[in-house]
Amino acid sequence: MRCEHFERQMWAYIEGQLPDARAFEEHLRACPRCQRQLAAAQATYRTLHALPRHRAPANLSEQVRRRIAAAPARPRFDWARKWWRVALAPALGVLVAAVWWGWQTPQTAPSYGIASEDLTESLVELHEQLEVADWSPSPTPSYFITTGYTR
Amino acid sequence: MDTLSIEAQLVERAKAQDEAAFEQIMRLYADRLYNYILRMVGNATDAEDLVQETFLRAYQGLPQFDGRASLGTWLYRIATNLCIDHQRRRARRVQTVSYSEGEDEEGEPCAWDFPDQQTPNPLEAALNRELEAVVEDAIGKLSPKLKTVLLLYDVEELSYEEIARVLGIPIGTVKSRLNHARTQIQKAVAAYLDDAPLSARVRGTK
């Protein structure tokens, strides 16, 4: 057995999870370096499992109750998210149509391009409002614009 | 009745706005979560804030808790996420956090706060305390990923399966991170054992 192999098996040996420890122990007897490694690993394992346990502050539950009372009432997130998704789906459709229309008629009707930018801004605003209404993580406006609302 | 079904009942009662049930959940997990969070973040003030936040999030998330994970797994997951977020925020301000340099709530240095009067050999007791300080310091220097797994397995004594569920990673990854974390601690311990004159004296007595 080589030293690297010994080191890989060291923790399993300490935990008594090495099914056949003969080769491991044979190497151990012959290698002073690995003897030192194992001694340090055993001291590490023993110390980790005997570390002092810290107790939570006595007033913890009182503090938590205070925070619960001070926290804003929980809105109905699921309902809010579904409602906005329903509202956003046609808005996205309108945006795609407007951008497409703007591209199709750039010379004759340049104002369409502006209109589609306005629409994009409106949609970004709409999405920002959605983020304000919903504290849970949601796609950023740029993600939304480029890849669509996929969640 | 086993622990899991007792906990499931507590959760059901807490979901039905039974404040006493939620209090009991806090009593069951306060010390475990605090002990874990304190070593994750390295100081008592932040740990106190984060354990409160963990229970606040748990309270707010109770309606969504479907019982597929155990209560403990769920709480450790909330705590872990909060600790990792906290460390990310803090990493922008502070380069390193050393647990052994922290102080507990009474302002005493943590690493030297636990004299073991029962140990027969005073030299060995002194060595154990020194080793504790070395190990705590090395834990404080681990990356959050490695620290989480090491603390959950070796200190909080969760199983590989439970840790895999807490972190949402495969069991093989849990084992490999644990090995890496232990090896880093072991290197610090080996360096200490090679250098420390006290430890040499203790080893010489054996």
Find the farthest-apart pair of alpha carbons in chain B and give their distance in angstroms, rounded: 62
Q: A96 falls in which pLDDT band (50, 70, 90)?
A: confident
The tally of domains found in chain A comes to 2
What CATH number does residue B142 fall under?
A: 1.10.10.10
Rounded to whole angstroms, the Cα distance separating B69 from B165 reads 8
Is the domain of B206 the same as that of B147? yes
In this structure, is residue A100 part of a structural domain? Answer: yes
Same-domain pairing of B102 and B183: yes
Mean pLDDT over each residue of chain A, to the nearest integer: 75
- Please indicate whether, in this complex, the C-beta atoms of A68 and B56 are within 8 angstroms of each other: yes
What CA–CA distances, in Å, run from B52 to B6, B46, B79, B169? Answer: 23, 10, 10, 26
Q: What is the pLDDT of residue A78?
A: 56
**Hey, how many other C-beta atoms are within 10 angstroms of the C-beta on B194?**
11
Same domain, B48 and B148: no
Q: Which residue has the higher pLDDT, A79 or B50?
A: B50
pLDDT of residue B97: 43
Band the pLDDT of A145: cuts 50, 70, 90: very low
Question: Please, is B72 exposed, middle or buried when counting C-beta atoms within 10 Å of its C-beta (0-12, 13-18, 19+)?
Answer: buried
Instruction: Flag whether A63 is in a domain.
Output: no
B95 pLDDT above the threshold of 60? no
Q: Is A67 domain-assigned?
A: no
CA distance A136 to chain B (A): 12
pLDDT digits (tens, 9 = 90+) for B11-37: 999 999 899 999 999 999 999 999 999
How does the average pLDDT of chain B come out, rounded? 84
**ipTM of predicted assembly, 2 dp:** 0.79
Would you say residue B102 has pLDDT above 70? Answer: no
Q: What does the DSSP 8-state code read for residue B152?
A: I
- Give pLDDT, residue B61: 94
Same domain for A38 and A93, yes or no, is: no
Decide if pLDDT at A51 tops 90.
yes
Residues in chain A: 151
B46 at interface of A, judged by CB pairs closer than 8 A? no
Average pLDDT in the B133-140 region? 97
Residue scoring higher pLDDT (B111 or B190): B190
Task: Give, in order, the Cα–Cα distances in Å from B108 to each of A21, B44, B118, B190.
Answer: 44, 11, 22, 27
Tell me what percent of the residues of chain A surpass a pLDDT of 90.
44
Note the helical H segments in B92-159: 122-140, 144-150
Picking from B71, B97, B123, the residue at the C-terminal end of a domain is B97
Confidence at residue A16, expressed as pLDDT on a 0 to 100 scale: 93
Measured between beta carbons, the chain B residues lying within 8 angstroms of A60 are 26, 30, 34, 48, 51-52, 55
**Residue B90 domain boundaries:** 1-97
Co-location of A97 and A45 in the same domain: no
pLDDT of the residue at B62: 93
A73 to chain B: closest CA residue: B60
- Which among A44, A52, A71 is the nearest to B56, CB-wise? A71
Domain final residue, candidates B97, B120, B147:
B97
Determine whether the interchain pair B104/A60 forms a contact, defined as Cβ–Cβ distance below 8 Å: no
pLDDT at position A122 over 90: no
Number of A/B CB contacts below 8 angstroms equals: 99
The better pLDDT of the pair A138, A90 is held by: A90
Question: What's the mean pLDDT in B51-58?
Answer: 97
Residues of the domain holding A10: 3-49
Average pLDDT rounded to a whole number, residues B119-133:
83
Mutate to test the interface with A, among B180, B186, B199 (most CBs of A within 10 A): B186
Mutate to test the interface with A, among B17, B56, B116, B128 (most CBs of A within 10 A): B56
Residue B153 is given by DSSP the state I
Q: Are B183 and B191 within 8 A, CB to CB?
A: no
Tell whether B183 and B105 lie within a shared domain: yes
B25 and B71, same domain (yes or no): yes
Query: Between residues A87 and B101, which one has the greater pLDDT?
Result: A87
Binned at pLDDT 50, 70 and 90, residue B118 comes out as low
Q: Taking CA atoms, what residue in A is nearest to B57?
A: A68
The pLDDT of residue A97: 87
- Residues B167, B191 within the same domain: yes
pLDDT in tens, A15-36: 999 999 999 999 999 999 999 9
Q: What is the mean pLDDT of residues B141-148?
A: 96
The reported pLDDT for the residue numbered B124 is 83
Q: Are residues A87 and A134 in the same domain?
A: yes
Domain count along chain B: 2
> How far apart are the CA of A39 and the nearest CA of chain B, in angstroms?
8
Q: Are residues B56 and B110 in the same domain?
A: no
| Average confidence (pLDDT) over B153-168 | 96
Residue B143, pLDDT score: 95
Q: Is the pTM of this model over 0.90?
A: no
Exposure string of A112-123, with b = 16+ CB inside 10 Å and e = fewer, is: bbeebeebeeeb
Whether residue A138 is predicted with pLDDT greater than 60 in this model: the reply is no
**Nearest C-alpha of chain B: how many angstroms from A58?**
10
Tokens 């949601």 — which residue? Answer: A138
Q: Residue A45: its pLDDT value, please?
A: 97
Of B54, B69, B97, the residue at which a domain comes to its end is B97
Q: What pLDDT is recorded for position A124?
A: 59
What is the nearest CA distance from A5 to chain B, expressed in angstroms?
13
Res. B158: pLDDT tops 60: yes
What is the CATH classification number for the domain harbouring B13? 1.10.1740.10
Token couple for A93: 């459709």
- A55 touching B (Cβ < 8 Å): yes
